[in-house]
Amino acid sequence: MSTIGLVPARCGSKSIPFKNIKSFCQKPLVYWTLSALQQCEQVDVVYLATDCEEVASVVLALGLDKVQIYHRSPDNASDTASTESVLLEFLEAHPEYSAEDTLVLVQATSPLLESQHLEEALTQYRSEGYDSIVSCVHTRRFFWNKEGVPINYDYRNRPRRQDFKGWWMENGAFYIQSVGGIKEHQNRLGGRIGIYEMPEHTAVELDEPVDWTIAESLMRAYVLKPQPTQVRLFLTDVDGVLTDSGMYYTENGDEYKKFNTRDGMGFELLRKAGIRTGIITSENTEIVTRRATKIKADYLHQGQRDGGKLAAAQEICEKEGISLHEVAYIGDDINCIELLKRVGFAACPADAVAQVKALPNIHILSTKGGQGCVRELVEMLLPL
């Protein structure tokens, strides 16, 4: 039996033009839900259902190997078309999927969805005998109708928040049902419905520009910020990260590099947090040696070319008795890519080359190389 992910993403959007590929935390919005499906081990294949060549082109450029494009019909991409119409059209176009196969419908406008949520919900769906699953958040808010009548509590006997059982509100992140169930009920849900409870911060909706700002803040706080216990070693490149990539020469041929003092403080904060640090660079200069000594880096590997950065990081990990999954690395150019792909937390400056920014696991910082990007990353890694 197969498990299929389906993400509808049409061209049109009334409130925010081209919303599905608008930059969200420096990635196209649709990337985040596709990435969650990509990383979910129980999902076999993912389809992006779109009527838009521009959306399809952006998604294909992400390089997610589970993701395929389904070209939905114009009729099912209009303002009045329902999601159910897209679901049924997709299944009619793919008769190879049997009634027993599972379909996970995911909304592109739920970027705070994580792969672990999908893993847990699919396990719940299969182990607890539900016919379908809907994602919800548990809210203890009090609701009223427009006529001034309370819906879920008695205002004359207002309960304390801790005593109020609350309601489970659909957050629109995902729906799970068998292919046969969707065809039978003509709906994304049917039969015995189970609730998968997601964290309250995932209730955010992306309907207006102000929602975008709020959601990006939540994304950085809850999803992009790694736990400090995950990172035991911090590694960085030099040129384009600790420096602005500029090469400064005197008339005598002496070379200079400009470093940012805030990055130096970042190394001190890491040291106080018990996180080991290192510099890995393809260059080999006395300037970098002096800078490494100044900031008290635990490791310095210079002259690392042709895959040498990955090998150097693996050597350090072996000495520290840790895995690459416990390493945070920041790099900016193509010779950093192999290492960036392998570490547990990969980041790059705002002005890194396009090939680095396109990596599926990369965290693109808001600051450029030499302007404090290492300090920005350190503040992401460490608790406030």
Q: How far apart are CA 324 and CA 344, in angstroms?
A: 6
Residues pairing with 178 in the sheet: 102
What pLDDT score does 384 carry? 52
Q: How confident is the model at residue 88 (pLDDT cuts 50, 70, 90)?
A: very high
- Average pLDDT on 213-227 reads 80
- Average pLDDT on 187-203 reads 96
- Average pLDDT on 31-48 reads 96
- Average pLDDT on 143-163 reads 89
The more confidently predicted of residues 225 and 228 is 225
Exactly one of 141, 158, 161, 290 is catalytic; which is it?
A: 158
- Average pLDDT on 308-315 reads 92
- Domains of the chain listed by start with CATH number: 3-224 (3.90.550.10), 228-381 (3.40.50.1000)
What pLDDT score does 383 carry? 66
C-alpha distances in angstroms, 264 versus 54, 186, 195, 226?
42, 60, 48, 21
The answer to whether residue 262 is catalytic is: no
Q: Are 99 and 182 in contact (CB under 8 A)?
A: no
Q: For 186, left (φ over 0), alpha (ψ -120 to 50), or beta?
A: left
Q: How confident is the model at residue 14 (pLDDT cuts 50, 70, 90)?
A: low
Structure tokens at 101: 């196969």
Does the pLDDT of residue 228 top 60, yes or no? no
Which has the minimum average pLDDT: 16-20, 52-56, 211-215?
16-20
C-alpha distances in angstroms, 100 versus 140, 180, 183?
37, 6, 11
- Average pLDDT on 151-178 reads 90
Which has the minimum average pLDDT: 51-65, 91-105, 112-126?
51-65
What pLDDT score does 210 carry? 85
C-alpha distances in angstroms, 367 versus 118, 190, 351?
33, 48, 8
- DSSP symbol at 155: G
pLDDT in tens, 107-117: 999 999 999 99
Q: How confident is the model at residue 257 (pLDDT cuts 50, 70, 90)?
A: confident
pLDDT in tens, 118-148: 999 999 999 999 999 999 999 888 889 999 9
Q: How confident is the model at residue 11 (pLDDT cuts 50, 70, 90)?
A: confident
Mean pLDDT of the chain: 90
Q: Are 30 and 48 in contact (CB under 8 A)?
A: yes
Does the pLDDT of residue 37 top 60, yes or no? yes
